[in-house]
Amino acid sequence: MMQRDSSAEGDAKDVLSKNTENKFMQILHNYADTSLEDKRFLIVNCDNVFGERDDFDWMLAMLDTLAGLLEEIDRNSTNSRHKLPDVPSDAGVGRNPWSFTPHNAQYITYLMSRLLGSKAVDVRSRNLIHKVILR
C-alpha cells in the first residue's frame, strides 16, 4: 500500500509539473498580451521548467523562441507598454525617486540567462547557442 501511495504521489507531481510547463509555454507564446502576473509566473517557474529538460534541441528551440520575443519587443519599442520609464532629467533638484516595472525585454533576458545556466552544454550546442544569441 505504501508503494501505491508513493506512485500516486509521483503521478500527481508529474501532472503538476506538466501543467506548469504547459502554462509556461502558453504565456511565452502569447507574451505580447500577458499580464504582469503572468510574467512573474515565468520568473518563478523557469527553473522548474528548465531543470526538467535534458534535451539540447528543446533548449535551442526555447532560446530561439526567447530571441524571437526579444526581436518582437525591439520592433514594437514605440508602443508605450514596451518603453523604459523616463528618468527625471532635472539635474538641479537631484534625482527624484521613480517607480520601476521591469521592461518586457528584461523578463526575457532573465529567462535566457536562467536557461543557459541550467545545464552544461557540449561544444556543438554552445556554438549553436552563440549563433542564436548573436542573432
Task: Please tell me which residue, 93 or 33, carries the higher pLDDT value.
Answer: 33
The sign of the torsion formed by the CA atoms of 27, 67, 107, 103 equals: negative
Q: Is residue 30 part of a domain?
A: yes
Q: Is residue 43 part of a domain?
A: yes
Q: Is residue 95 part of a domain?
A: no
- Smallest CA-to-CA distance from 105 within 78, 132, 79, 83 is with 83
pLDDT tens for residues 75-114? 776 555 545 555 445 445 544 444 445 677 888 888 888 8
* Confidence (pLDDT) at 95: 44
Which residue shows C-alpha cell 523616463? 86
State whether residue 69 is helix, strand or coil.
helix
Q: Is residue 4 part of a domain?
A: no
- Smallest CA-to-CA distance from 21 within 79, 66, 62, 73 is with 62
Determine the structural domain holding residue 16 and report its residue range.
10-80+101-134
At residue 124, does pLDDT exceed 60?
Answer: yes
- The number of distinct structural domains making up the chain is 1
> Cell triple for residue 85?
520609464
